[in-house]
Chains A and B, each alone.
Chain A
Amino acid sequence: MKKGYLGFFVSLFLLAGTAWGDAIKIPVASPFTGQLASFGEGVKNGALLKGSEINASGGIRGRKVKIVLEDELCDPKEAATVATKLANDPAVSIVVGHLCSSATLAALPIYRAAKLPAISPASTNVSIGKMSPFYFRNVYKDDFQGLFLAKYAHFVKGYKKVAIFYEVNDYSMGLMLAFMKEAKKLGIKILGTEAYTADTTDFKPQLTKFKMMKPDAIFIPGYAPQGTLIVSQAVSLGIRNAGFFGADGLDDDLMLKNPDAEGLFVTTPFLPDKAGPRAAGFIRAYRKAYGKDPNWFAANSYDAVGLAAAAITAVGQDRVKIRDYLASINTREKAYEGVAGKTYFDKNGDCLKDAFVKEIRGGKWVSAQKQLRQ
C-alpha cells in the first residue's frame, strides 16, 4: 500500500517534471539559526556552491538543481517536523542533512518509514549508523575521532596527564568515551572528568578542580560557544601551563576572537592545505564566493550534495533506487571522489575518513605542523 502510494506520487512527479521541466529539489537540513548557526553556515555555503556548480555545468539530466534550506535549529522536535515535511514531499528523493545527532535521531524514524534516503555531512555520533538502512554519512564517527585525538595527544604532544571537560550531550560524551578508551591503552592518565550543560556560563568551579590537578592539557569535547568561555575562564583562574584541545565541535571561527585560545588544537575532517588536488578548484571558488577559506562543514556538505547529485544522475529520482545506489558504493575502488577525500560506505552507511589537526597560531587557524598518518 505504502509502496503503491509512493510509486504513484513519484510517477506523478516525474510526469509533472518532464512536462514543466522544473528543478530537482535537494533539501539541506541543518541548524541555520540558533547557537550552532555558525556550523550550519558552512553547510549552507558548501551546498549552495555545489548546487550552483552543478547548474553551471548543465544540471542533472538537463534539469536544474534547487538547494532548499531547511532550518531545524539542532532541536529534535524541529528536526522531526522538518523531516515529516520532506518525507511527504514527493518532489524530494534524497535529503542532505542533519548536523546534530539528537536532531538526526529524531528524523531517522520518519525517513525510514518514508523510505527516504538521507546523507549527513556532519553527524558523527556512533549509534546512528545502525538505526536505519536509509541513512548515510560522509563524515567519520566519534569513536574514530576520539581514538585519533588520544593518539595525537600521546605521540605528537606527549601529554601524560589529561583532564576532560565534557558537555552533557551525546556528541561530547561519545567522544570522551572513545578518547578515554584509547588513552588507557596508551598510558595517558585521565586526572578527572567534569560535566557542564549547554546553558551554563560559569565553568569556574569545575576548572578550579582541574587547576589543582595540574594537568598537561584539558580536553574539551564540546562546541565552540562554550569552548571559548571555558578557555578564557581557565586562563583567568591562572591555569596557564596546560594546553587545550578539542574535536571538530571547536572548529569554529568563534574561537579566533578569543586571545586566550592561542595554541589550542582540534581535529577536523578537512584542511584546505592538506586536501588533494581535487580540492584546489573548490577552495578557489569558495574563497571567491564567500571571502574566506572553507571549513570542514562546507567541504563535507559540498561532497554530500555531490553524492546526492551523482545518485540522481545514475538512477533517477526513485527513493529506493537512490538508497540502493548509495549502498553499492562500498569499496575503496567504487568510492566517490570528493574534495574532502574518498567516500565509501560500510554496511551501516558509515564511512572511514582521514582526520587532520589544526591549531590557532597568531589568531588564525593553521594546519598543525605534525599530522598523524593513519
Chain B
Amino acid sequence: MGPLHELLDQSSLFLQQLVNGITLGGVYALIAVGYTMVYGVIQLINFAHGEIYMLGAFLAYTMVTVLHLPFFVAFILTILLCSCFGILLDFIAYRPLRQAPRLAALITAIGMSIFLQNLALMIWGSQIKSFPRELLPAVFSRPALVLGEITVSWLQIFILTITVLFMAILHFIIHRTQVGTAMRAISHDKVTSALMGIGVNRVISFTFAVGSAMGGMAGILVGLYYNAIFPTMGYIAGIKAFAAAVLGGIGNVPGAMLGGGVLGIAEVLGAGYISSEYRDGISYAVMIAVILFKPSGLIGKPTGDKV
C-alpha cells in the first residue's frame, strides 16, 4: 500500500466521520431548538423535553407496528401529538409555578422528566425496539451516494433536509410573524408584554407546541437512523442537545443549529480519533467549558444578570 493510498484512506475516513457527525448534529439541533425556545421565553430548562423526543419515537413506532399506519401518516400524526403533549406539559406542570421560585420550576421539570421516562418504561418495557424494515419506505435503507469508501444514505439526506427546512421555517416564524414578535417580547419582559396586551400564556403554549413538535420529529428520525427506541433514550440525547443549545447561545435558534452541528462533529471526531470510551464525556466537557468561559455561547448575545 503506497503512501498515496494511505492518504486517500485517511481522508475518506475523515469525510465519512464528518458525514456521521453532521447527521448527529442535525438531530441534536432539532432537539436543542425545543430547549432554546422555552428557555428563551420563560428561562426554564425544560428537562422533560428529552422525554417528548422519546415519546415521539415510541408513538411513531406504535402507530406503525400496532395500528399499521403508513409511515408518513404516522410521522405527521406523531408530530401533532407531541406538540399537544408539549402544551399539556406546560399547562399541568409549569404554568401553576410561573410565580414560584425558579428552584421549584426546575425541580418540577426534573420530576416530569423522570415521571415520563418511567411511564414509558411501564408502557413499552425496557427492551430496545426498532422499526421493522418492511414497514418503512424502502428508499430509507438504500445508499444515496457512494463515493469510494464514503456512503451517504437517503435517510441521512432526509434528516438533514428536514433539519434545515424546519430551522428556516422557525427563523421565519420568530422574526417575521406576529406570534414570533410576541415571543421575543415576552423573553425580554414578561410583565410589560402582558400589559401591552400580549396573551402571555397563549404564546408560551405556542412555544411549547413548536418546540415539542421538533423534539418529537427528532425522536422519530433518530429511531429510524439508529434503529433503536427505548425509554431512556431521551435522557442522554436531551442533555447533549441542551449542551448544543448552550454552545450555540441559548434562546437563539440559528445558534441551536450551529451548536448542534459543532457538538455532533466534535463528538464523532472525538470518538473516532481520541477515545471512544470518553465519547459522552466530550459533550459534557464542551458544555461545562462553554458555560464557564463563554456563557453567552458562540453566537448568542451576552445577557448579563437580570436583577
Direct contact of A and B (CB under 8 A): yes
Mark A residues whose CB is within 8 Å of B: 33-35, 37-38, 168, 194-197, 199-202, 204-206, 208-209, 211-212, 225, 229, 232-233, 236-238, 254, 257, 259
Please tell me if the beta carbons of A211 and B16 are within 8 angstroms of each other in the complex.
yes
A34 to chain B, nearest CB (A): 5
Q: Which of B127, B141, B269 counts the most chain A CB atoms within 10 A?
A: B127
Interface of A (DSSP majority class):
helix
A69 to chain B, nearest CB (A): 17
Query: Could you write out 25 A-B pairs with CB less than 8 Å apart?
Result: A33-B125, A35-B128, A37-B126, A168-B277, A195-B276, A196-B276, A200-B280, A201-B128, A201-B227, A202-B20, A202-B226, A205-B17, A205-B267, A206-B272, A206-B276, A208-B16, A209-B13, A209-B272, A211-B149, A212-B9, A212-B10, A225-B127, A233-B227, A238-B146, A238-B149
A72 to chain B, nearest CB (A): 14
Interface of B (DSSP majority class):
helix
State A226–B298 Cα separation when bound (angstroms).
Answer: 35
State A201–B132 Cα separation when bound (angstroms).
Answer: 17
Task: Give every chain A residue within 8 A of B108 (Cβ-Cβ).
Answer: none
A100 to chain B, nearest CB (A): 15
Please tell me if the beta carbons of A33 and B276 are within 8 angstroms of each other in the complex.
no
Task: Give every chain A residue within 8 A of B228 (Cβ-Cβ).
Answer: 201, 229
Nearest B residue (CB) for A73: B126
Please tell me if the beta carbons of A229 and B128 are within 8 angstroms of each other in the complex.
yes
Residues A34 and B143 in contact in the complex (CB < 8 Å), given A201-B226, A204-B20, A212-B9: no
Nearest A residue (CB) for B277: A195
Please tell me if the beta carbons of A233 and B226 are within 8 angstroms of each other in the complex.
yes
Task: Give every chain B residue within 8 A of A34 (Cβ-Cβ).
Answer: 126
Interface residues of B in 221-275 (CB under 8 A from A): 222, 226-228, 230, 232-233, 236, 267-269, 271-272
Please tell me if the beta carbons of A199 and B226 are within 8 angstroms of each other in the complex.
no
Task: Give every chain B residue within 8 A of A168 (Cβ-Cβ).
Answer: 277
Say yes or no: is B118 at the interface (Cβ < 8 Å to chain A): no
1/0 per position for B137-174, CB-CB distance to A under 8 A?
Answer: 00001010010010101000000000000000000000
State A232–B133 Cα separation when bound (angstroms).
Answer: 11
State A229–B228 Cα separation when bound (angstroms).
Answer: 7
Task: Give every chain B residue within 8 A of A254 (Cβ-Cβ).
Answer: 127
Please tell me if the beta carbons of A212 and B13 are within 8 angstroms of each other in the complex.
yes
Task: Give every chain B residue within 8 A of A200 (Cβ-Cβ).
Answer: 279-280
The 3 closest A-B pairs by CB, nearest first: A205-B271, A201-B228, A201-B226
Please tell me if the beta carbons of A35 and B126 are within 8 angstroms of each other in the complex.
yes
Please tell me if the beta carbons of B276 and A194 are within 8 angstroms of each other in the complex.
yes
Residues A38 and B127 in contact in the complex (CB < 8 Å), given A200-B279, A238-B143, A259-B133: yes
